[in-house]
Amino acid sequence: MTWFSFLKTKVNITPDMVNKRKQFMDVLTNVYKNQITHLNAKNSPFDEVGSKNDFLFEQYDKLRLKHIDDLETIEELKETRLSTIPPSELEDTLSNLAASKTRESIELSKNLQDAKGGEELNWLNNNYNYKIHRFLTHYHFNRIQTSYEINDYLSENKLRRPISVSQLVDSSIAFTGNILSLNGYPIPNFVNAGKAQQAQNNLNIECIPPHIQHILFELLKNATIPSLKTKTPVTISYYPHEEKPQEKVIIKLSDLGGGLKDESLIDKIFHFHFTTTPRNSKDEVNGFGMGLPLCKVFALFNQGDLRLVNNPNVGVDLFITVPRAKDDSISK
């Protein structure tokens, strides 16, 4: 809708609309305040004796200042314009805030990769510890929550919804194949092996489908190179959780690409910004060290988990745990 056509329609902003806006803005304000508090200097692991890093401290402090500016925009809307701002203008403002959450992660990762020819990235990999991991996990969880709250408010339907696991796996396989083709990679034999199980158990999960599709995309593309080298399939199966079959579903991705040769990598691959890909070989398929760590955060945000089992000289199994939906709540 153009601004001119909006003026002609004269949208009436009702008291119910204003109340809904206020409730949402209260939620968004709390999310931003939480992130600002988290990014405060006293919580930064990059300003501590023994792990001090001026570059990383400054990067996250810039994000804190950006969040303060965004919060001022939100509070101004709350205090003065909730009953007058046109829906199209409010949507544009919120959409820009949501988009900035993706941009800030990409820019931060790129800055770290490029800083001093990779020296800052090497420092992070060599000094990575529990405090740094907890700090980065919290930051990205909150960043994802910000985007979720905004997009859920703007969407006509709730983003968190029931969906067929088989449907989600099929769409993830198709999406991954498209991305691989666009980047000049052959497509391995991706197999949805759970369709029989789906029919038998009516396996539906309650989740934010784009989040789980993103996880599956990352896992499928990670399995691409080893599977192509060994000319073996990548298989996705799914089944009820053994201990809590009515509450959880397991989505298992398995490859036969030989597994991780270096066992010390098993813990490191879930570290933010850790990658074994050379700097000059990075593309949309390989190399920025954010794939698996963010997959773990997406899984946690969906009340699930992600874990890896290495089978030396055989392959890798990855297990995504997701809440099971009630059978009568599935939307076809």
How many angstroms separate the CA atoms of 5 and 87, rounded?
13
Is the distance from CB of 238 to CB of 198 less than 8 angstroms? yes
Average pLDDT over residues 14-32: 93
How many other CB atoms are found less than 10 A from the CB of residue 80?
10
pLDDT tens digits, residue range 286-300?
A: 656 788 999 999 999
CA distances from 50 to 43, 46, 47, 128, 129 (A): 15, 9, 9, 11, 11
Is the distance from CB of 300 to CB of 180 less than 8 angstroms? no
| Of 285 and 95, more confident | 95
The answer to whether residue 275 scores a pLDDT higher than 90 is no
| Of 201 and 317, more confident | 317
User: What pLDDT score does 200 carry?
Assistant: 66
The answer to whether residue 217 scores a pLDDT higher than 60 is yes
Q: How confident is the model at residue 133 (pLDDT cuts 50, 70, 90)?
A: very high
The answer to whether residue 74 scores a pLDDT higher than 70 is yes
| Of 279 and 191, more confident | 191
Beta bridge partners of 239: 250
Domains identified in the chain and CATH numbers: 3-154 (no CATH), 161-329 (3.30.565.10)
The answer to whether residue 312 scores a pLDDT higher than 70 is yes
How many other CB atoms are found less than 10 A from the CB of residue 37?
13
How many angstroms separate the CA atoms of 310 and 259, rounded?
6
pLDDT tens digits, residue range 172-183?
A: 999 999 999 998
How many angstroms separate the CA atoms of 81 and 215, rounded?
38
Is the distance from CB of 180 to CB of 173 less than 8 angstroms? no
The pTM for the full model equals 0.90
**What is the C-alpha R_g of the chain?**
22
How many angstroms separate the CA atoms of 247 and 215, rounded?
20
Average pLDDT over residues 297-320: 96
- Lowest-confidence segment of 27-31, 81-85, 212-216 by average pLDDT: 81-85
Q: Decide: helix, strand or coil at residue 310.
A: strand
pLDDT tens digits, residue range 75-115?
A: 998 888 888 888 889 999 999 999 998 888 888 888 888 88
The answer to whether residue 6 scores a pLDDT higher than 60 is no
* Amino acid occupying residue 212: I
Residue in this structure with the two tokens 């101004």, named with its chain if needed: 76
pLDDT tens digits, residue range 35-48?
A: 999 999 888 999 88
In terms of C-beta density within 10 A (0-12 exposed, 13-18 middle, 19 or more buried), how is residue 54 classed? Answer: exposed
Please provide the average confidence, as pLDDT, over all residues in the chain.
Answer: 88
Average pLDDT over residues 119-128: 90
| DSSP per-residue string spanning 8-62 | HHT----HHHHHHHHHHHHHHHHHHHHHHHHTSGGG-GGGSTTS--HHHHHHHHH
% residues pLDDT > 70 (the chain): 89
Average pLDDT over residues 221-229: 94
User: What pLDDT score does 25 carry?
Assistant: 94
pLDDT tens digits, residue range 231-258?
A: 999 999 999 999 999 999 999 999 999 9
How many angstroms separate the CA atoms of 214 and 291, rounded?
9
User: What pLDDT score does 49 carry?
Assistant: 67
| Of 202 and 90, more confident | 90
pLDDT tens digits, residue range 155-166?
A: 989 999 999 999
